[in-house]
Amino acid sequence: MFMKAMRENGGEFLSRLRRLLARAGAEGAASGDWPGVGGGRRHRPAAVLVPLVLHGDGVGGLTVLLTRRTDHLHHHPGQISFPGGGMEAADVSAEAAALRETEEEIGLPPERVEIIGRLPDYLTGTGFRVTPVIGLSRPPLALRLDDFEVAEVFEVPLAHFLDPARHQRYSLRVEGELRHFHAMPYGDYFIWGATAGMLMSLYRLLAAED
pLDDT digits (tens, 9 = 90+) for 84-127: 999 999 999 999 999 999 999 999 999 999 999 999 999 887 78
Q: Kindly report the pTM of this predicted structure.
A: 0.91
Distance CA 112, CA 85 (A): 19
β-pairing, 80-81 vs 62-69, is antiparallel
Q: Report the sign of the C-alpha dihedral through residues 16, 22, 26, 29, in that order.
A: positive
Distance CA 52, CA 113 (A): 9
Tell me the average pLDDT of the chain: 88
Distance CA 81, CA 69 (A): 7
pLDDT of residue 59: 78
Distance CA 127, CA 37 (A): 9
Go through the domains of the chain in sequence order and give each one's CATH number. Answer: 2-207 (3.90.79.10)
Rg (CA), the chain: 16
Hey, what amino acid is at 49?
L
State phi, psi for 146 to the nearest 5 degrees.
-80, 100
Residue ranges in the chain whose pLDDT is less than 50: none
β-pairing, 44-54 vs 128-137, is parallel
pLDDT of residue 9: 78
* Cα–Cα distance list, 60 to 36, 44, 57, 63, 65 (Å): 36, 36, 7, 8, 14
pLDDT of residue 29: 64
* Cα–Cα distance list, 148 to 3, 7, 131, 141, 173 (Å): 40, 41, 24, 20, 30
Tens-digit pLDDT profile for residues 164-173: 999 999 887 7
Hey, what amino acid is at 158?
L
